Amino acid sequence: MKITFKVNGEPVTLDVKPNELLINVLRDKLKLTGTKYVCGIGECGACTVLLDGEPILSCLTLAVDVNGREVTTIEGISKGDDLSEVQEAFVEEGAIQCGYCIPGFIIMGEYLLRIKQRPTEDEIKEYLRGNLCRCTGYVNIIKAIKKASELKTSKTK
C-alpha cells in the first residue's frame, strides 16, 4: 500500500505492507534510528513519537495508519546541531546514562512543556509514567524537565 506522510516536516511517500509497524518504517526504511525499539508491547515508551503533535507508541501503530499525517521523531527535535532546551537540560543535569530510553523521554518532555510551561513535579511524573529508564532512577530526568522549563521560559522573556 502506498502511503504519504510528513516526517519531521519533510513529505515522504513509501510502499508499505499492512503488517508493517511505524517503528520499522522509521528505523529500517527512513534510517531514522533515533526512535528506539525496546519492549514491543506498549509498556516502555522508548518508541514514542509525535503523531499530529500527540505522543503515541510507534511499536503499536501500523504504518498504513499514518497516511496523510505528520510524524515527529527525536531527529526532528533539534535544529541541526542546536539542541532543544529539553535536550540541553538532559545533558546539563546528567539525566542520561546508557541513553537508550532517552529519545522517548525527550519527546514526552517536549510535549509536556508545550502543554504546560511550568509543570509541577507531580505533573512531570504523570506525563512520564509511560517511559521506563533502568539506569538513572528518574531523579535527574525530572530535574532536567524542570530545568528545561526554566530555560524555555527565560528564553521567551
Partner 1 sequence: MFYKLPEIEYIRVSELDEALRLLSRKEDVKVLAGGTDLVVDMKIGRYRPKTVIDISGIKDLRYIVDEGDKVRIGALTRMQDIVESPVIREKLPVLAEAVSMLGSWQIRNMATVGGNLCNASPAADSAPPLLVHEARIKLASIEGTREIPITEFFTGPGMTVMRPHELLQEIIIPRKKGKSSFIKVSRVAMDLAIASAATYVEVEDDVIKDVKIALGSVAPRPIRAIRCEAALIGRRVDEKVLREVASLVVNEISPIDDVRGTAWYRREVSKVLVYDSLIKSLERLRR
65 binds partner 1 (CB under 8 A): yes
The one segment of 4-12, 13-21, 26-34, 89-97 that binds partner 1 by CB under 8 A: 13-21
87 binds partner 1 (CB under 8 A): no
- Closest Cα partner for 49 from 97, 96, 4, 6? 6
**Any alpha helices (H) in 42-138, and if so which ranges?**
85-92, 102-115, 121-127
| Identity of the amino acid at 54 | E
First to last CA, the chain: 47
Q: How far is the CB of 72 from partner 1 (least distance, A)?
A: 14
Q: How far is the CB of 64 from partner 1 (least distance, A)?
A: 7
40 binds partner 1 (CB under 8 A): yes
127 binds partner 1 (CB under 8 A): yes
Question: Which value, to the nearest 10 degrees, does the dihedral of the CA atoms of residues 145, 146, 150, 156 take?
Answer: 40
Residues in 18-37 at the binding interface with partner 1, rule: CB under 8 A: 18-21, 37
Cell triple for residue 151?
530555560
14 binds partner 1 (CB under 8 A): no
Given 84, 87, 131, 149, the residue binding partner 1 (CB under 8 A): 131
